[in-house]
Chain A
Amino acid sequence: MRLLDARVVVVTGKGGVGKTATASAIALAAAQRGRRAAVVELYGAGSVPAMMGLSNRSYAAQRVAEGVDAVSLTPWECLDEYGLRTLKVAALARLFLSNRVVGAFLDAVPGLHDLVQLGKLLHMIDAPDQDEVHYDLVVLDAPATGHGLSFLDTSATMMEMTRMGPLYELASEIDTLLRDPDQTALALVSLPEELPARETLELVEALGPRRAQVAAVLLNQVEPPPTGEDVPWGLARAALVGAAPHLVAHGDQVMRRVIDQSEWRSLLARGLEGVPVIELPRLHRGPLGPAAIAEFAARIAASLEVS
């Protein structure tokens, strides 16, 4: 499965590796190929809107670039919508969902919050109402690994628990979608550092049959050599010593990182045979924003051309 041809891309990885930026960039890259895309976050985290330069999160789609919307889900908004659709009568649904007891009950069903948010996702690509946008691709800024795996199993757990009824049906539809290698791709985000790299390999191991759905590993914060690819640092260093001690110290520091990273880059490449690894450069720019996302999208498109 090619990354940008999927209907759903689930983006996961260790905390702090750049999942949100990567998810946004994947959506943008797909939109630039003419696909209508949404980048979706869960639990109203607010990180996707912030990354795309928006000041507020919103359940309603917000346009962030040509062909790309940002959507920030919360379980409560999704439940409202789901309740409305299931119970049909709006007044009844509202009365029901605003009930304190029902609220406590819905909090008490494990995985229900995950499930209704995934249900919304399904709705976005499958059967939106007439006045809603139909998305060709939904990119999900998913929870961190560890959580990520149990999150992918939410639907199966729910099916096991309910065994019949509307929640079972919903869970089963979601399960079919998320397991289908022709529809759902996994994008794993990592860093060329020891812990994230090892965690990525462990995740791939733990994926079992889902491994076939891994469409790409996106490696963030890759450090280019201090003097580029054409001039070896050793050569430049010899010329700079004495003349520019600060630059030499800086170049040495960068070079150490480059060498350190190469170990984890090759470890990943060996462990991920057959999966394209897309490298994204380290940017010294503070918090990432729309400009960085555009740069990442271009890199993603370029490296998919090559592979």
Chain B
Amino acid sequence: MTRLLVCAGLGGVGKTTTSAALALRCAQEGDRVVVLTIDPARRLADALGVERLGNEPVPVPLDAPGTLHALMLDRKATWDEVIRRYAPSDEIRDRLLGNRYYEQVSTRLGGSQEYMANEKLYQLVQSGAWDVVVLDTPPARQTVEFFRAPERMRGVFDQRVLEGLLRPSKGLLAMAGRRVTGLLRRIAGDHVLGDIAEFFSLTTGLSAGFRERHRAVHEWLHDRERTGYYLVTAARNTQSHDVREFLGVLEGRQMRLAGFFVNRTTRDPGLVEPIAELQPPAGVEGVVWGRALDGLVASAAAQRREARREGEEAAALVRSHGQVPVWMIPDLGEEVRDLRGLTLLARFLPPSPATVIA
């Protein structure tokens, strides 16, 4: 069974890099791993030592018992792939690929990226080629969007809903339908409605497949034996509203929280020495010297308080979530640029990430 490790968290907390390091850690344990990333920055390709990341897994050159592959979700390419693979006829395929509304759906409709992440995930798991898939989640304003966005899209693609609207038949329901359609026309205009109606009539033959694949992914993501969630946060904000909301959703859905990654923790400078007696160097006035030293002491003390606060909040996370481990990842002071940096980062991650949920 392919196990899934999902790295969730807000943009800017180091999610993509952490996902890659987590995947590396699994490969070091002997797993056949693939990491699906979303971040379009070239940097990750560099860090992994590969020429470029595309929509299909590429091998990462690695000296490890397992293997590591990486790919970067290309929303548009994945949509096209899905249409090409599942369209019931060449004619429908071509008309869909040329439909104006499809162009919008596949490039910019909110939620369609998350939706395609699910399609990609489905392909990866179905291939049977992987022990572990590490999933980096798309950047979003709220971490819970990872769950909500594809569900909203499923609502959109639920033919039973939109068919009623766009192709009303006879009878009382149709009258209500026509009235609603009329109002929609008033608000949105005819062009939009026409394009959308064509799109949905073309996708009729695909919608059962969409539903089925997404039901499968939905089940996997809820399967505690298969899928674990790692919540990536910035050290300064482990008690944020966003974190609490995400944890609430996991708990409500009885999904497995595998651990926390607290990124860029502050280094504790240690006890600040008394230096009031220290004489100023030649040429520096006593007042100026005093002010400079006060500044230094205050900054060390503030950093010390911050380090402690982060430690206490991490301890609170451990307490409030039972057995779930918290991994503190220090600020390494530089960007991860190559496999060496990624290996260094991986040392701070759990020893065998995937066995947590085995």
Give chain A's interface residues, CB within 8 Å of chain B. 14-17, 42-43, 45-47, 50, 83, 86-87, 92, 96, 99-105, 107-111, 113-114, 143-144, 146-147, 150, 157, 161-168, 193-195, 224, 226-228, 230-231, 235-236, 238-240, 243-247, 249-251, 253-254, 256-257, 260, 284-287
The proximity string for B residues 65-79 relative to A, scoring 1 for CB distances below 8 Å and 0 otherwise, is 000000000000000
Q: Mark B132-164, 1 if CB is under 8 A from A, else 0.
A: 000000010110000000001101101001101
Which of B187, B236, B279 neighbours the largest number of chain A CB atoms within 10 Å of its CB? B187
Query: Which 3 pairs show the lowest CB-CB distances between chains A and B?
Result: A16-B12, A15-B11, A165-B189
Residue contacts A-B, CB under 8 angstroms, 15 given: A15-B13, A47-B241, A50-B240, A101-B164, A102-B183, A105-B184, A146-B40, A146-B139, A150-B108, A157-B104, A163-B189, A165-B186, A227-B296, A284-B299, A286-B310
User: Taking the complex as formed, is B170 at the interface, i.e. its CB lies under 8 A from any CB of chain A?
Assistant: no
1/0 contact string of B264-286 vs chain A (CB within 8 Å): 00110111110100111100100
Given contacts A50-B240, A166-B187, A256-B333, contact A235 B11 (CB under 8 A): no
Least CB distance, A230 to chain B, in whole angstroms: 5
Q: Which of B121-129, B300-308, B340-348 contacts A (4 or more CB under 8 A)?
A: B300-308
Extra 12 A-B pairs, beta carbons < 8 Å, given A47-B241, A165-B190, A249-B270: A45-B141, A87-B187, A104-B156, A166-B189, A167-B188, A230-B291, A239-B281, A247-B272, A250-B296, A253-B267, A285-B306, A286-B310
Within 8 A of A (CB), among B3-51: 10-13, 40-41, 43
Question: Chain A: which residue is nearest B191 at the CB level?
Answer: A163
Contact A101 B165, beta carbon cutoff 8 Å = yes
Quick check: is B209 within 8 A (CB to CB) of the other chain? no
Q: Which positions in B face A, CB cutoff 8 Å? A: 10-13, 40-41, 43, 100, 104-105, 108-111, 139, 141-142, 152-153, 155-156, 158, 161-162, 164-165, 177, 180, 183-184, 186-192, 195-196, 234, 236-237, 239-242, 266-267, 269-273, 275, 278-281, 284, 288-289, 291-293, 295-297, 299-300, 302-303, 305-306, 309-310, 333, 335
Contact between B165 and A43, CB atoms less than 8 A apart: no
Task: Kindly list chain B residues whose C-beta atoms are within 8 Å of the C-beta of A285.
Answer: 302, 306
Contact A157 B273 (CB under 8 A): no
Contact in complex: A247, B278 (CB < 8 Å): no
Interface centre among B41, B289, B292, B310 (most CB of A within 10 A): B292
Q: How far is the CB of A7 from chain B (nearest CB, A)?
A: 24
Are B302 and A228 interface neighbours, CB within 8 A? no
Question: Which residue of A is nearest B285, CB measured?
Answer: A230
CB atoms of B296 and A251 under 8 A apart: yes
Please name the residue on chain A nearest to B10 by beta carbon. Answer: A15
Q: Is the CB of B272 within 8 A of A42?
A: no
Q: Are B158 and A162 in contact (CB under 8 A)?
A: no
Complexed CA–CA distance, A239 and B290 (Å):
13
Q: Which residue of A lies closest to B313 (CB)?
A: A286
